[in-house]
Structure 1
Amino acid sequence: MPHHSRLSAAVLTATVVLSSLLAGCGDDAGDEDLTRQRLDWKDCPSPSQDQGGGGSPSPLPDGDAWQCATMKTPLDWDRPDGETIDLALIRARASGPDSARIGSLVFNFGGPGGSGVTTLPAFGQDYARLRTRYDLVSFDPRGVGRSAPVRCLSDRRLDAYFQRDATPDDGAERAELLESTREFSAACEKNSGEILPHVRTTEAARDMDLMRQVLGDGRLHYFGISYGTELGAVYAHLFPKNVGRAVFDAVVDPTQTSEQGSLGQAEGFQRALDNYAEDCTSKAEDCPVGDTPQDVKDRIARLLKDLDSRPIPGIFPRELTQTAATSGIAQSLYSKEFWEYLTEGLEGAYDGDGRVLMVLSDSLNGRSENGEYSNLTAANTAINCADDKPRYDTAYVQGKLPEFRRASALFGDFLAWGMLGCTDWPVAGAADHPDVRAPGAPPILVIGTTGDPATPYEGARRMADALGKGVGVELTYEGEGHGAYAGESSCVRDAVDRYLLDGTVPAGGTVCS
């Protein structure tokens, strides 16, 4: 479950972890023109712990190797001639003839906090058709993975942090939750204080424009998923004339405050749970976790209530707590492909075995099989708190609980209390919500999925409207999951491919199923 309101594309990075379980500051730039730097592309090393660990990316289906490089960018874009940091990049060269090549297609898979360097090769086959005319490129944004990573708590302390009671029932539990949040923030400041003021989305967007120039592209061709849609929209606002062909999939609502985003996620995850319960009980064979949709949800609610006081064995030596179970259930709702794991996890938990739900929870939180964490949560918190101006206290959250519970009986409390994540953050937030107005930009394809739990469907229309008339072009996918292009709909894939490969913009209001 999201630690903060927009940890919503974790599904892509987390899927890499799930499958295995079931670069600091540089020299002064001086007067160097960073746009003229040359990237030294080499075979990719094994991912660092901050990137999620594991082995080097496997060769592409045609035998080509993934290539990695680092790009220097200013630590502080207000001082572009000052200190620099290194951003980690990865690419797969275009597979088609040079005469057909359009340029680079830059991906951001969201989070914020997900490593593009590890995620792109894990899902590269999904974009094979796009590779016929583009170099596929992704990167670790500032603060993420190998790009001046934000670091906060140790692995051992993160285990305890994710076991804490995140839905307090009394004053003592509220005080404990607030204290754990303060300890997390203090650890981030102690271990990463230099980078924390410089991880805002506006600065990542400026990094992308430098990247565009260093890659040799006149315009930025871009594919953003989840938070990556917000990053792309901020880029379009700052550099409308530099936008090429751009696709936003699983769209963040740019009009909402962090509170409104959390409430929207409560509604979205509840909708996904409703759809799961309906799907399970409508099949010919008996649903093993309930007889009716309401029975499924009632049994889950009883499980979580019991776990609040009596955790069950998880992955030794850890127990499955109420918080871990809620996170695991949420992770399984990101994709319809995960629903079978939810059924398996619930069956086990009802029999006193919390291992599958804990694997799902670990996946969402960036914990590998060997007990090491990526910096997903640290980076997610740092970026969200640098972006989001509101700061909430326990009294405010308590007053909002009835509204969140109406939105979701299961997830409402969890997402409401998650608003404390930035309460004592050492860096002030930039704004209530991002500015994404992009007059003068070319058409941007905006895809919303009706059953998306993490970035609810309604946000796609608001993004299209906010980008401006003639810029945002909305496409609807009537289906489940967080992101449409890599899903089951050939209609969505064909529409995106025609746009990115041939420049054919779909008609606004197109609906795919």
Structure 2
Amino acid sequence: MPTLHPFAVASWMLGILVASAPSGATVAHAAPVPEPPIAWGPCAEPWVGATSDTLGERLECGSMRAPLDHVAPDGRTMDVGVIRVRARNTARREGVIFFNPGGPGLHPGSVLRSIASGWTGEAAGAGMASKRQLSERFDFVTVIPRGLTGSSAVNCVTGLPPRHAYLPTHLDDANWGRVLVEATTAAAACAALEYTPYINTEQHVHDMDMLRRALGDERIHIYGISYGGMIAAWYASIYPENTGRILLDSTIDFTHDYRTAIRLSMIARNDAFVCGVLNPLIAHASRYGLDPDPDVIKAALASLPSRIREIWRWDDSELQLAVALHVGALWHNARPTTYAAMAALIQRTAMTQDAALAGRMRREALQLATALYAPSPSLPLDDMDAEEESVRLIVVCNDIPQTRSDAEIRATARSHASRYWTYSGSETVEELICSRWSGGGARQPVLATMAQAAPFLLLQSADDVVTPPGGAAHILEDFTNAHLLLVRHSSTHGLFNFTLSPCIEKTAADYLLTGTIPASGARSLACIGTHGSALYAIPGDPSLSTEAPVPIGRPARHHDEL
């Protein structure tokens, strides 16, 4: 199996983001398949994590024998796992909400269990009255994506470090050749798996409808986070008559191709770094013992040693950037060959005259040096991480037709390396892998069909760097049935159920419950901030007073990046 360096641009709910290529092709509905009743029973811990006393026997798991290809079944099947939390009041059950937390390659089980437990709880909190009604009246379900634990797990990557040098600083012919070899090896290893051609968004959507039919519901409501928004869009385009309410939380921009989505995220990450880290450092350069000339600082950043750029986090603070520049200068000037030599050099170097900063900068420098001289990992990813990385890669390559040549991809890599401080090169490696793909492909839906859906709601942080608000603006422009709730002063990716804002939580819960969108005459509304994370809320804290969304203008598009 090949070595593959994971590409992570997000928080817990994301690996890489994918968006469908525009297409005029029509995806046929899944052929009728005999569906024996699902044998619902207790859930295995690898599927949902720790057991839940709150949910009790309402939390159930089962498995479906799904055709490899729903549209053209040939008798071959695979196991697809399903998880549900049954409505608390079966007599008042109104329907089913399908959930996807993002990905591709993210297992939905533990997140679904956690959210359902929160809806079931008795504690006061933002939107809790509506959430409890969701718990009372709706089954909350998910289909485990193909290739993950519970759905015929696959593994075609090792997770070991790449054999090529850090790409942004090594775009020479020799290193590029090593990258091409690794990409070819990775593509061949994943394409060789039996199930690879059938692990994609299209087949996952058909698996969802297979579960809908097994449950006996005419329509489903969908709550998708990030890549889960793309899943919702594909389902609504293929099965418009079976689509109810759609809540798209921090959704991928599914109206444009994959490279556009990656560029929008790259620009947003770079802008966040410049505005939140680089510019503040330039403003306070003297305090950190640096030359106050902005050009000098930018030149020092551009000349950081490759290894420091590789291990240093682009979203660190101005202090940590200052430390990286100091350590980079020590590296250039003294070339210490061991951690001990670098540590001794750091101990005797006065990085700043500010006594309040000196000790902290030295500690940060020693931590950076520890990572700088640490041996490269020699063990592969554990089984769960390896299968998630494998599924992520397979879905991306199956979903998106790649048409660019190696020369075009290399030219883009050079451009990104010169323009974006936060470019890591893994985006390029992934495109090269997919350009060599022979594992299969997904039939592309006609996304315009989503215009037939009922009004749907987008939740979007104004400062989200994973799925920036420009993507939501594209969706608003293309679909008149789309409505936006923009959260100002927030970079949170994945909002609903993870904030303390009544404006966010109640609006989203009410929409899922009844389809209600605040009446204002505007398709774009705003909340002010998240008021903190629900993950760190203290039980018993009083909930915030009701805060209603306010009308705003539509976020700006990114025409220059299309």
Q: Is the 8 A contact 2:200 2:398 kept in 1?
A: yes
1:182 aligned partner, one-letter code: T
Deviations 1:481-504 (A, max 9, x none): 212222343311111111112331
Q: Is the 8 A contact 2:148 2:387 kept in 1?
A: yes
Identify if the C-alpha distance between structure 1 residues 227 and 441 changes in structure 2 by more than 3 Å, giving closer, same or farther: same
How much has 1:417 moved relative to structure 2? Answer: 4.8
Deviations 1:293-324 (A, max 9, x none): x89x969947x932x2x57xxxxxxxxxx54x
1:11 aligned partner, one-letter code: W
Matched, 1:102 2:101: no
How much has 1:140 moved relative to structure 2? Answer: 1.4
Q: Is the 8 A contact 1:387 1:429 kept in 2?
A: yes
Matched, 1:195 2:195: yes
Q: Is the 8 A contact 2:108 2:142 kept in 1?
A: yes
Deviations 1:244-283 (A, max 9, x none): 121011111123222222211211222333464389879x
Q: Is the 8 A contact 1:13 1:119 kept in 2?
A: no
Task: Report the secondary structure of 1:237's partner residue.
Answer: helix
Q: Is the 8 A contact 1:226 1:483 kept in 2?
A: yes
1:135 maps to 139
1:111 maps to 103
Identify if the C-alpha distance between structure 1 residues 491 and 288 changes in structure 2 by more than 3 Å, giving closer, same or farther: farther
Q: 2-side partners of 1:279 and 1:104: how far apart?
A: 48
Deviations 1:431-484 (A, max 9, x none): 799735323211111222211111111111222333x33x22222122212122
Deviations 1:18-41 (A, max 9, x none): xxxxxxxxxxxx99622xx32222
Residue number among 54, 59, 63 corresponding to 2:52 in the alignment: 59
Residue number among 139, 144, 149 corresponding to 1:145 in the alignment: 149
Counterparts of 1:107-506 in structure 2, within 5 Å, are 107-125=99-117, 127-128=119-120, 129=131, 130-154=134-158, 158-161=159-162, 165-167=166-168, 168-190=170-192, 192=193, 194-274=194-274, 276-277=276-277, 301=301, 305-306=304-305, 308=306, 310=307, 322-323=309-310, 325=311, 329=313, 350-353=365-368, 367=381, 373-401=385-413, 403-405=415-417, 408-411=420-423, 413-427=425-439, 429-430=441-442, 435-466=447-478, 468-469=479-480, 471-478=481-488, 479-485=490-496, 486-506=498-518
Identify if the C-alpha distance between structure 1 residues 503 and 450 changes in structure 2 by more than 3 Å, giving closer, same or farther: same
Unaligned 5+ runs, structure 1: 15-29, 312-321
Q: 2-side partners of 1:152 and 1:9: how far apart?
A: 23
How much has 1:127 moved relative to structure 2? Answer: 4.6
Q: Is the 8 A contact 1:446 1:474 kept in 2?
A: yes
Deviations 1:219-263 (A, max 9, x none): 111101111101100111111111112101111112322222221
Task: Report the secondary structure of 2:12's partner residue.
Answer: helix
TM-score, normalised relative to structure 1: 0.74
Deviations 1:367-403 (A, max 9, x none): 45xx863412211111111111124343212322464
Identify if the C-alpha distance between structure 1 residues 3 and 235 changes in structure 2 by more than 3 Å, giving closer, same or farther: farther
1:317 maps to none
How much has 1:204 moved relative to structure 2? Answer: 1.4
2:42 aligned partner, one-letter code: D
Deviations 1:164-184 (A, max 9, x none): 634333111111112112221
1:314 maps to none
Identify if the C-alpha distance between structure 1 residues 127 and 349 changes in structure 2 by more than 3 Å, giving closer, same or farther: farther
Larger radius of gyration: 2
How much has 1:114 moved relative to structure 2? Answer: 0.8
Identify if the C-alpha distance between structure 1 residues 413 and 75 changes in structure 2 by more than 3 Å, giving closer, same or farther: closer
Matched, 1:39 2:38: yes
Deviations 1:89-148 (A, max 9, x none): 2222233x3344322211111211111123323554455424243222122112333212
> Cα RMSD over matched residues?
4.3
Task: Report the secondary structure of 1:439's partner residue.
Answer: helix
Task: Report the secondary structure of 2:485's partner residue.
Answer: strand
Q: 1-side partners of 2:279 and 2:184: how far apart?
A: 41
Unaligned 5+ runs, structure 2: 16-30, 121-130, 325-360, 529-562
Identify if the C-alpha distance between structure 1 residues 488 and 32 changes in structure 2 by more than 3 Å, giving closer, same or farther: closer
How much has 1:68 moved relative to structure 2? Answer: 1.4
Q: Number of matched residues? A: 451
Task: Report the secondary structure of 1:474's partner residue.
Answer: strand
Identify if the C-alpha distance between structure 1 residues 251 and 416 changes in structure 2 by more than 3 Å, giving closer, same or farther: same
Task: Report the secondary structure of 1:389's partner residue.
Answer: coil
Q: 2-side partners of 1:428 and 1:415: how far apart?
A: 21
TM-score, normalised relative to structure 2: 0.68
2:64 aligned partner, one-letter code: M
Q: 2-side partners of 1:32 and 1:425: how far apart?
A: 30
Task: Report the secondary structure of 2:447's partner residue.
Answer: coil
Identity %: 24
1:38 aligned partner, one-letter code: P
